[in-house]
Chains A and B, each alone.
Chain A
Amino acid sequence: MNGFLIVNGLSGLLIVSSLLVTLAGNPANSARFYALQSFILVMLFVALAGATGSGELYLWSFTALLTKVILVPAIMYRAFRRLSDPAIGTGAVMPTALSIVGAAVALILCFVVASKVTLPAADAIKPALAVSLALFFIGLACIVAQRNILKQVFGYCLMENGSHLTLALLAPNAPELVEIGIATDAIFAVVVMAALGSRIFDTLHTLDARQLTSLKG
């Protein structure tokens, strides 16, 4: 049972780290915090593997370490470091305090939804399940309430981490190939977004989503 306690405890740290990613001052710092969050996720996978005795999860932890902790943050850090648009500041649309309150409300709502799931596999890990769903919505909020297009990319990454955690919690014995499929796709998504973001900056000299409004109607 202790294993599941660690899982639920670590999931709390995921919420904190997701707020750090969202509220970081610039995209390069967000990349650092994202690597931190992914590392917590990997720890969580290892704890879950220990608690459920799933061999596949150990493999997952390893691939997640390679892709989410090292590869994706490195790609983003390298691509985003040289791009900066001082005009938009942090790019946040909402005050920090409101963002934190919003995250808390999302978490409570997700607890309500998770409590209604009747799957036997979900019994011991309902708090973590609620966190995984909340992580998904915090990611969404990061995209909607962010003017900096590069930080919107992190929103997608948070959403993807949320889905990934749900998958690990509910189906710890999922074939490794499933997990590799998701991870690979996410890498390509980040590469394409980073490439497009860089081209936008090179052509338009801005990272502000509010400047991208020539198409209307």
Chain B
Amino acid sequence: MTAMVPSILPPLLLIGPLAVALFLLTLPWFRESLPEAFATDKGSVTLLERIHLGSVGYVFLLSIAALIQVLSSGAIAAFGDWLFVDALGAVFMMLIGVVGLMTGLYSIAYIRHDLESGAIDAGKVRIYYGFFSLFLFTMLLAVTANNIIMMWAAIEATTLGSAFLVGLYGQKSSLEAAWKYVIICTVGVAFGLYGTVLVFSNAADVLADPHQAVLWTALVGHAAELDPMLVKLAFVFALIGFGTKAGIFPMHAWLPDAHSEAPSPVSGLLSGVLLKCALLIVVRFYVITVGTVGTGFPQMLLLTLGVLSVGVSSLLFFVQQDLKRKLAYSSIENVGLIVVALGVGGPLGIAAALLHAINHSVTKALFFCSAGNVLMKYGTRDLRAVKGILRVAPATGLLMMGCALALAGFPPFNIFVSEFMVFMAGLNEGYGWIMALCALFLCITIAGLVRIVADSVLGKSPETMAKGDVGWKALAPLGVLAVLVLTLGFAVPQPLSTLVQQATTVVMNGDSRPVVAAPWQQYDTVRAGGQLVTGSLSQTEISK
């Protein structure tokens, strides 16, 4: 592993949202000393919104700055290497920055609507924005942690930080969802702790300095010296533990409840970013395990759980009538597909998994926020009651249609590009029948998505429903996400493909540069003499 460049950016990135969260959550104590304009309910909400916007903007700018530094000078580190951002972590840090900003902007309109409709009061607005920043902080901590115990603590903290967001509305169903979320994830992540403890104890025995045994970078370097039995056990525990948080079947039970009961911007953040952060930790353990026992054991586990996740969730997705629960099952399916790609392995499989994580994150955040618009307009998530969105709210209808087509994996949307890569990787590595099975399950999902478009987006709207879309503040951030979904569907931008290649190198623990591009871009890559490891559309591959 090359030396890491010291940088102030990782701690700076963390301190902003943490400070905002602590300030907002302790605000009642300061309220008396605030200027008069902010002392009323309305004034205080305006103040909260400004602070919140500052927080998400700060996280966005700093994460992009850190990303640029990682791309230009390699992994960066701080605090005696306890914090670090390598290319792999940078992928997920970027997701937190971008999706955090967009769902953060969308929150303004959404929470105002909730406030006006009486679903929450001004006090809850403070709780919401405070925990929103805290949630961002805990996820950033998880992706910038090099200390494996801190990684675990951060993932545990994401649950604790977001539980109150899930239960924000304080109704029977939301409290129930919050309780299941906390119990299932905390217990799941306790497995993660056991796995972490096993790896650490093992390494502390092998490495001369126990302080090094706690660092992921040191563990990867010495993985070959660890005890195979303990590492296998640790991987199983870590996969169960962090897999619970990532929503992998059969540990996914919390996910549909939490995603459907949380306010929509938070659902977008949970599905778009949190699941991926937990997957990052699974990947980090995967790298250690491969170093100790080779690829066979971890890949077999990943493939099994991945295919099961895709299969079970596609069926549950199809029969579900609650829009947000439906989307939640789709998230399990996509996480399953990412896990399948990891299980397929090889540079192309890993790159496909990472690209699909990015694409799904953007698309699902957009879909959940669009569903939020539907909820604002119709006041229900029941698809039997939501009809004719396109007539009632044309922009939202268009967004919903775009999201459904994108999620179905149609070109020219981004999911097509990464799903195509996943299938190419699977076929190249000789997992034809597994890919065929996945394709079959994806067809069921497509049928479910077509139903959303046909019935809910295009169908006949209720006659009593007033026409007119939600305000521009709710639509603008979704417009930006939609542009991203389309742009990434036309072509993978060069900096992004470089980032994914570098991240793949981290996972493969050796230089490997698979082609990360849309199928139609790959002819250019071949012509330009790009290095093709596997999965290109070169003549030899086609003849295979």
Contact = CB atoms under 8 A, between A and B. Distances in A.
Q: Which 9 A-B pairs have the closest CB atoms?
A: A170-B201, A171-B201, A171-B204, A212-B176, A159-B190, A167-B197, A215-B257, A185-B153, A192-B160
A172 to B, nearest CB: 9
Contact of A167 (B160, B178, B186, B201): B201
B47 interface: no
B214 A175 contact: yes
A189 B177 CA distance: 17
Contacts of B261: 215
B41 interface: no
B120 to A, nearest CB: 15
A189 B187 contact: no
Contacts of B172: 203-204, 214
A166 B175 contact: no
Q: How many A residues touch the partner, as a band?
A: 35 or more
Contacts of B164: 192
Nearest to A204: B172
A2 to B, nearest CB: 23
Nearest to A166: B197
B364 interface: no
Interface string B205-238: 1000011011000000000000101100100000
A173 B203 CA distance: 12
Interface in A202-217: 203-204, 212-215, 217
11 contacts: A139-B190, A166-B198, A166-B201, A171-B204, A174-B201, A182-B193, A189-B160, A212-B176, A214-B172, A215-B180, A215-B256
Interface string A51-90: 0000000000000000000000000000000000000000
Interface in B147-177: 149-150, 152-153, 156-157, 160, 163-164, 167, 170, 172-173, 175-177
B187 A199 contact: no
Interface of A: 113, 116-121, 136, 139-140, 143, 149, 152, 155-156, 159-160, 162-163, 166-167, 169-171, 173-175, 178, 181-182, 184-185, 188-189, 192-193, 196-197, 199-200, 203-204, 212-215, 217
Contacts of A140: 187
Nearest to B196: A163
Interface of B: 149-150, 152-153, 156-157, 160, 163-164, 167, 170, 172-173, 175-180, 182-183, 186-187, 190, 193-194, 197-198, 200-202, 204-205, 210-211, 213-214, 227, 229-230, 233, 256-257, 260-261, 316, 319-320, 322, 325
A196 B183 CA distance: 10
A208 to B, nearest CB: 12
Contacts of B194: 136, 162-163, 166
A53 B217 CA distance: 29
Contacts of B257: 215
Contacts of A199: 167, 170, 175
A217 B325 contact: yes
Contact of A117 (B214, B229, B322): B229
Residue in B170, B183, B257, B260 whose Cβ sees the most chain A Cβ within 10 Å: B183
A203 B169 CA distance: 12
A118 B183 contact: no
Nearest to A201: B175
A212 B172 CA distance: 8
Given A166-B198, A175-B214, A203-B175, A189 B170 contact: no
Contacts of A203: 170, 172, 175
Nearest to B185: A189
B183 A188 contact: no
Contacts of A163: 190, 193-194, 197
Residue in B156, B190, B202, B319 whose Cβ sees the most chain A Cβ within 10 Å: B190
A215 B193 contact: no
Given A175-B210, A200-B176, 4 more contacts: A163-B194, A166-B194, A182-B153, A193-B182
B131 to A, nearest CB: 11
A193 B156 CA distance: 13
A193 B182 CA distance: 7
A185 B150 CA distance: 10
Contact of B205 (A139, A171, A212): A171
Nearest to B184: A143
Contact of A189 (B150, B156, B325): B156
A213 B157 CA distance: 26
A196 B230 contact: no
Given A121-B201, A121-B205, A185 B156 contact: yes
B160 A188 contact: yes
Contacts of B197: 163, 166-167, 170-171
A9 to B, nearest CB: 22
A126 B284 CA distance: 29
